[in-house]
Structure 1
């Protein structure tokens, strides 16, 4: 591969992150402690309008513990999209509840409220949309549906740090929300997750569940997990959080350039009132052409891309449901995510546009 290969994603770790880790190492206080507490407070103030923020060791842990803290368990159903990473449905299944898959709306790849309404049964306890690619789901419609049916609303905000809808931040609509801090997300702690909630009782249960069921050492109140974030990871996250606004602006500017110049492919749309943070910049390529298109980008133009997600959850061997989700199936065949990360420069963006337009014109 050429040395000027443009990767689909590129984690940004600089001297400030290294210095923060070194300071924690020098302190000798490596496990959950003051750095984690500071990270939670800063994340809450920056992204959650002051809601509780509870740090955990991964995004999947955050979803799992959030569901448990909200009372989800065996016999319950939670409606989720099939077009997402498997962790969304996995977390529901890990509680003993059943994930029920609904279709997406094709413009923004998020849960379709009409499909959700059709999937509600007398066992449904909650709806958990995913703000896929960094675009907020239709939380107004889904929230109204949940309220009208007596259901809880949760948010998988793994990809949506700083996204918003009608001025309200993603992660502040549901009984809980989860943000992933995996290395390729819009910000990282190396590995980790952050769970938000406005409910004091849910926040306390989250803190118990992540720490073996203890608030005070050796006074275990319930059966819990070791899902704590370390001070090392929190130190990285604190530095990254300070850079997030600038990185988000760069992603949005890169996305705007691509949308203004790409031809022959369907570019992302943004709903009225939504702020898209472009965890991914996802185009659509005609069915049957997508994989050849991605291969040509790599082989002929030295540009990386990604398919998120080629196999819908309902067709994974772990779930294997026979249901009709036409928009989900179409998206899985056609989506392709192009580089949009803050490391791109003007020359990179020009190369991406030139390559995509040439391949679209040639029919890949």
Structure 2
């Protein structure tokens, strides 16, 4: 039985929602984006502002720009993340300082983040890896005392919560969510920036569309002087389309139900993988909510075990991925980033055998069993 790495949960109602926008004639940022922003801010809570963008990468770029990151500054980034978390600092001429991971959360080691702070640090980026929610209250207080903005890369983290508080509603200065095709909710491509800082939100809104002081929907729907606008900064082209926002609104309404589907499948994996030579994904306390964006395991047999498994998965048409090759192992970042003298032993050990198994909201028990059966065969268990 073929098993895809991911299958989006898209109903005919979702398709019709997007089709209605296409029929409306207004395709770029407009009323759907405005409604999506309001609904997302309400969902996250904490008196936040929400700003739609065309990717989480764009959102991270705008976030760093809005808090003042520029040439010569340093930005602390975990080495176990996708390159986008770091590359946005390079866009602004800043240096990336890589820190090791915490095996208990797969996020950055908070002690190593604190130790890496220096007078040159202009921002700290933290990734909630796989949707595992990490309480950043103490780190936020440390950063605030030094005047250093804390940015949450929350690409995996809707609807992750610490107790009743959603990621992005407390602690950090800015949080950025992803709606890429295989994320916990999707608009195909797209993202959302969330902040409690009104000035930061205003700056991001301006910079996402060429530095223009009026958004296109307002300019084209105002009766008087609709053509007038000013450019107050050299901005970017990072706005979301209205049909993407319409899909996002539909997905947001079902995001908790989709999480339950992924959580159910993760539970089946947990039970079936007991006793195998691998480490299961870490999980937070029962009071917190894991989004279960992905299900990563670490094979005890390292690179050879992963080769055996992936070859059989490919033969059986079972999807898989690796999250991630640590940045310090990649050609560009090995030369461009500021690396730790002691190296990255935790990330190196994790990467040796990490493998991400298929996980999606509509995954069936039979599909989980197919993956587990192939995994056991490859590992000769």
Shorter-chain TM-score above 0.5: yes
- How much has 1:274 moved relative to structure 2? 3.2
Is 36-45 or 13-22 further displaced after alignment?
13-22
Q: Distance in 2 between matches of 1:114 and 1:18?
A: 46
Equivalent runs, 1:21-36 vs 2, <5 Å: 21-36=18-33
DSSP-derived class of the 2:369 partner: helix
CA change 1:96–1:346 in 2 (3 A) is same
Matched, 1:274 2:285: no
Equivalent runs, 1:124-143 vs 2, <5 Å: 124-143=121-140
- How much has 1:331 moved relative to structure 2? 1.7
Instruction: Please say if residues 308 and 378 of structure 2, whose CA atoms lie closer than 8 Å, have aligned partners that are also in contact.
Output: no
Q: Distance in 2 between matches of 1:335 and 1:235?
A: 36
Partner of 2:239: 228
Post-superposition Cα deviations, 1:125-164, rounded to whole Å, max 9, x if no partner, equal: 2211101111123413422432344422110000111101
Partner of 2:250: 239
Instruction: Please say if residues 111 and 137 of structure 1, whose CA atoms lie closer than 8 Å, have aligned partners that are also in contact.
Output: no
Q: Distance in 1 between matches of 2:330 and 2:141?
A: 31
Which structure 2 residue ranges, 5 or more long, are not aligned? 215-227
Partner of 1:68: 65
- How much has 1:334 moved relative to structure 2? 1.6
Partner of 2:318: 303
Instruction: Please say if residues 111 and 138 of structure 1, whose CA atoms lie closer than 8 Å, have aligned partners that are also in contact.
Output: no
Instruction: Please say if residues 29 and 231 of structure 1, whose CA atoms lie closer than 8 Å, have aligned partners that are also in contact.
Output: yes
Partner of 2:185: 187
Q: Distance in 1 between matches of 2:356 and 2:138?
A: 27
DSSP-derived class of the 2:123 partner: strand
Aligned pair partner of 1:251 in 262, 270, 273: 262
Q: Distance in 2 between matches of 1:10 and 1:277?
A: 16
- How much has 1:246 moved relative to structure 2? 0.5
Partner of 1:319: 333
Paired residues in the alignment total 357
Equivalent runs, 1:195-214 vs 2, <5 Å: 195-214=193-212
Partner of 1:328: 347
Matched, 1:177 2:190: no
DSSP-derived class of the 1:100 partner: strand
Q: Distance in 2 between matches of 1:347 and 1:319?
A: 41
Q: Distance in 1 between matches of 2:182 and 2:109?
A: 27
DSSP-derived class of the 2:270 partner: helix
Aligned pair partner of 2:41 in 44, 47, 52: 44
DSSP-derived class of the 1:128 partner: strand
Matched, 1:118 2:115: yes
DSSP-derived class of the 2:127 partner: coil
Partner of 2:217: none
Measured on the aligned residues, the alpha-carbon RMSD in Å equals 1.6
